[in-house]
Structures are given as C-alpha cells and as structure tokens.
Structure 1
Amino acid sequence: MANGLGFAMAIALRTDFDATAVRSAARLSKDGAQTRRLLALAAIYEGSSRTEAARIGGVTLQIVRDWVMKFNASGPGGLIDRKAPGPPSLLQAAHRTALVEAIERGPIPAVHGVVRWRIVDLAQMLWDDFSLSVSRPTLSRELRALGYRKLSARPKHHAQDPDAIEAFKKGFAAKLDKVGASLPRGTPIEVWFQDEARIGQKTKITRRWAKRGTRPSAPHDQRTTSAYIFGAICPQEGKAAGLVLPFCNTDTMNLHLAEIALHVAPGAHAVLLMDQAGWHLTPKLALPANISIIAIPSKCPELNPQENIWQFMRDNWLSNRVFGSYDEIVDHCCGAWNKLVEQPWRITSIGMRKWAQGF
C-alpha cells in the first residue's frame, strides 16, 4: 500500500513494548549490533522519525524497515544476527549409524584390507554401501560431532581372560580384608602398585606439533644397551619408590622390596599389587614384614596403573633421545623418576583407581 507521493507507509511497531522497555533490553544486551538496533527503535517509540532512527543506526531507511519487521515478529531476539544455516548435511541418520557400527566393530583385515580405520577408508565405505561421496574434512567433522577422536590404543594381551579383570576388581576388597585380618587391629593399609620398565638406547618416537604437510623428525638410536627402572607407586598417598638396576631377577627384586618398605608409613602395612613375573612370586623373595603381595591376574596389564606411569614418563621425559652410554641411560632414568617423585599430585592423578582405593 502506498500514499499519493509513492512512498511505502511506515510499519507500526508492536504495542506491547515501549521506549523504556526497549532501552532496558539494549542495556542488557551483550551483542553490539543488537544494542544499536534497539536504540534506533527506541527512538522511534519516543516519536523520532524513521530518518532519525536510520541515522542513529547508521543504516538506510529500508534496513530500519527490516529491523521493525524482525522486532515485530520476534521481539529483541529478532535483532540478533543469526548464523547462516548453510547447506544441509550430506549424512543422514542411516549413514551415521553405519559409521558408528563400523568404528565400534573395527575393520576386518581380510575384507577391508586395513587393520585400523582411516578417514579415507570410512569415506570409501560410505561410497561402497550408500553411493555417498563425502570429503575427508567433512567426514572428520561428522566423526567429531559423533564424539569420536583418534586416540592411542591400550595394549591388550591376545590370550587375556575377558572376565579376569572384572572378577579381580570385585574381589579386591575381600583380598584386602584377608590381609587386614592377619595384622594387628587398626593397622593402616597402603595400596601400592609395582612394575619394571626397560629403558634403552632404542627409544620411542612420540608425536609432536608440526605444520600440516610436513613430516617432523626425531633422533632414534639402533643400539641396544639398556637399564631397568623398578618402580612402585602409592596413589592415595602420592608416594613412589624406585631403583634403576641392570637386570630383572630375584636379587634386584629384593632390593626394590627393601626400598618400598622404607617408604611405607611407620606402623602401616603395604599391599603390593604386581604381575606374575617369575622374580615377583618366587619363594626366594626376602619379603619385608610391612609388605604383602597380591598378584594381578596374568595377561591383564590394564589393572596396574604403574603401566600408565611408564607411558607418561616415556612420552614426556625419556623418548626422542640418544643415550651415549649405559651410565647416561641410568642418569636420565634417575632424573625422570626423581622428577615424578617431586610431583605427588601427578602420581595420584595417574594412579588412582576406584576399585582399589574407593572404599
């Protein structure tokens, strides 16, 4: 509808707002563009012309008209710039379900030709099964939206009893009670975990930040001189006891047991969890009076958080190095272990397990 001069008639502002309410909304707004638009409309509510409102907003009369229409339709929220919706997603519910099932199931090497999924493999699967062509960046975004990330896999022994871990966790409290029953009433019990790590000249190469498209390098030795860190942690107390030794045998294990015994609190008793290596369970061990041993089920390294300590130390302190001699290996191992001992919060953070300390 137009008047006799050919100009479009001004659209009236909605009547359930007034200048005071609009200015109040502008004060509460955290969006600069919305604030500017609300102040322009507030001026109209106060009787200013649309030309004056356009000057306040720094826009044309047509844009003021658009603001009025958005405000009338949605109130102050209608004056916030909305992100463009973009094109619809290529992937539908059926495609996402297929991706989740494939990732959880893992590839079958004889069928898919790979032992782990890559983005390009999943994209090929979508093409083969649905004739759907998806770029790698798009598929990567979809996988992240589904909650998937590329993570380091945890080693799992091929002959592991699938029920052994849960059975051990459920029965651990009873094992602790059995140890406690043999001690004087009221004796505090500390839960420790023990293991050994071989550190040699052939070190691990870890991931590192680098520009996309480049291939970062790191020093890597092919020699085989090595030493062993005998390590034990008490996560609840943030304590650790370690030795760097040349061999793993009964004699070196006895040295480590004596070292652990020195770190147990006076009057307390340590329950030491470790795997079933021969030098851990031999009757030739000289077991200190303040230590009892509980063997972890065979082929279940996941139950020992000392394994996670080794991974942290390798990733941050002991990899990407070249050791010139055995003495240099020992020095670096001692330095890394002492650095761990100085960070009791890290021992607690890495080592705490609800099944071992949650009661």
Structure 2
Amino acid sequence: MESLTPKPAENGLKYWCQDETRIGLKTIERKRITALGVKPIGKVQWNFKAYYLYGAVAPQTGESFWLEFSHLDGMCFQIFLDQLAEKYPDHLNIIQLDNGKFHQSSRLKIPDNILLIFQPPYSPELNPIERIWLHIKQELSWGIYENLEGLKEKVCAFLGELSTEEIASIAGWDYILSALATVA
C-alpha cells in the first residue's frame, strides 16, 4: 500500500498551518481527578499580563516555526511571514490560516515564496495547529509564574522539547496528508 505522506522536499512545496495564541500569567485551569461532586482545588493567579505566540507547523514533516510578539497586528504578522520566507527560501510555502483582519491587511506584502490559503470563517477546528495550542496549554495548566520572562522560558523549553514526530502526530490529519500526497 502506498504511503499517504508526500515527499515535501522533492516537489518544492511546504504546507503550513498557521495561527496565533495568547499565553499569559493568568492560571490555566483544567480538569483534575477528584471524588464525585468535589470541585478541583488548585492555586490560581489573576494576573492578566500576556504575550502572543505566532506559530506554523508542517503536518507532513512536523517542522515548526515560532515567534513571540507583545501584541497581535498586521506588522507582527508581516515580520512572521518575512522570517518564515527567509528560513525556507527554496520552497513555495503554502500557509493555511484563519480570516483575522491583520491577515488580510492591505499593507501586507506577501513574500514571493508564500501563498496564503484562508480557511472558512469561524472554523478553527479545521486548523491542526489548534491542537498544538491545546498541547502547550495543557503543559502550562495549573502553573503559577512570577513574571512573563519565566513563562516565556517555560514555553520556549517546552517547544524545544517537541520533536518533529510529536508535532506530525498531533497535526498530521489524514485528509491533509491525503490531499498533499496527490500533489506530490
């Protein structure tokens, strides 16, 4: 039986799933195992300082690209696109993303080796990077951090430990791999 995984380097295409997420000092509460009817107990903080993590993952290879920004806007997205294009200059980088206003800014200058594909409005479930965000936030759940620098260090260390195999297993959805296999 033929493998669904295309050989991305051979055809010069690289398919990315891109999104942004806010990561902050407010404690992320998650389910905990407790006795029936007992509410989970944990320390929380209500500090609302945060930053944004811009990310892109390639479902077929598990490659990833991350940048931190203090806010979310078209200028930050432009920097993200420029740096992604610079890191992968020998590929046509096809990027699936949502319909955020800053993704469609008239001031945006899309690099020559990038093609943006917008998913239908209000459909984050179609973007595999959403599962990566869940994976990261699960790791951060119930954590208390003194400041943003400490939180950034934790996130950076966690991203550094994520293997390409792990990212591919989380983001490599069959319908995407199947579609990419027909292009290869």
TM-score, length basis structure 2: 0.83
Report the identity percentage. Answer: 26
User: Which of 148, 152, 155 is 1:333 aligned to?
Assistant: 155
User: Which of 335, 350, 357 is 2:170 aligned to?
Assistant: 350
Q: Distance in 1 between matches of 2:152 and 2:105?
A: 27
User: Which of 137, 141, 144 is 1:319 aligned to?
Assistant: 141
Q: Distance in 2 between matches of 1:219 and 1:208?
A: 13
User: Which of 229, 232, 237 is 2:61 aligned to?
Assistant: 237
Contact 1:191–1:357 (Cα < 8 Å) also in 2: no
**Number of matched residues?**
170
Q: Distance in 2 between matches of 1:318 and 1:305?
A: 19
Instruction: Please give the residue correspondences for 1:22-61 in structure 2 after superposition, counting only pairs within 5 Å.
Output: none
Q: Distance in 1 between matches of 2:25 and 2:161?
A: 21
Select the structure that is richer in strand: 2
RMSD: 2.0
Stretches of structure 2 that go unaligned for 5 or more consecutive residues are 1-9
Q: Distance in 1 between matches of 2:18 and 2:176?
A: 14
Poorly superposed stretches of 4+, deviation over 3 Å: 208-216
Larger Rg: 1
Q: Distance in 2 between matches of 1:327 and 1:207?
A: 26
What is the CA-CA distance between 1:331 and the residue it aligns to?
A: 2.0
Partner in structure 2 of residue 274 of structure 1: 97
User: Which of 117, 121, 133 is 1:294 aligned to?
Assistant: 117
Contact 1:244–1:334 (Cα < 8 Å) also in 2: no
Partner in structure 1 of residue 107 of structure 2: 284
TM-score, length basis structure 1: 0.44
Stretches of structure 1 that go unaligned for 5 or more consecutive residues are 1-185
Q: Deviations over 1:147-202 (max 9, x none)?
A: xxxxxxxxxxxxxxxxxxxxxxxxxxxxxxxxxxxxxxx85211100001101111
Higher normalized contact order (CA 8 Å, seq sep 6+, divided by chain length):
2
Contact 1:241–1:263 (Cα < 8 Å) also in 2: no
Q: Distance in 2 between matches of 1:210 and 1:262?
A: 49
Q: Deviations over 1:22-57 (max 9, x none)?
A: xxxxxxxxxxxxxxxxxxxxxxxxxxxxxxxxxxxx
Q: Deviations over 1:65-91 (max 9, x none)?
A: xxxxxxxxxxxxxxxxxxxxxxxxxxx
Instruction: Please give the residue correspondences for 1:114-263 in structure 2 after superposition, counting only pairs within 5 Å.
Output: 187-210=11-34, 215-263=39-87
Select the structure that is richer in helix: 1
What is the CA-CA distance between 1:203 and the residue it aligns to?
A: 2.6
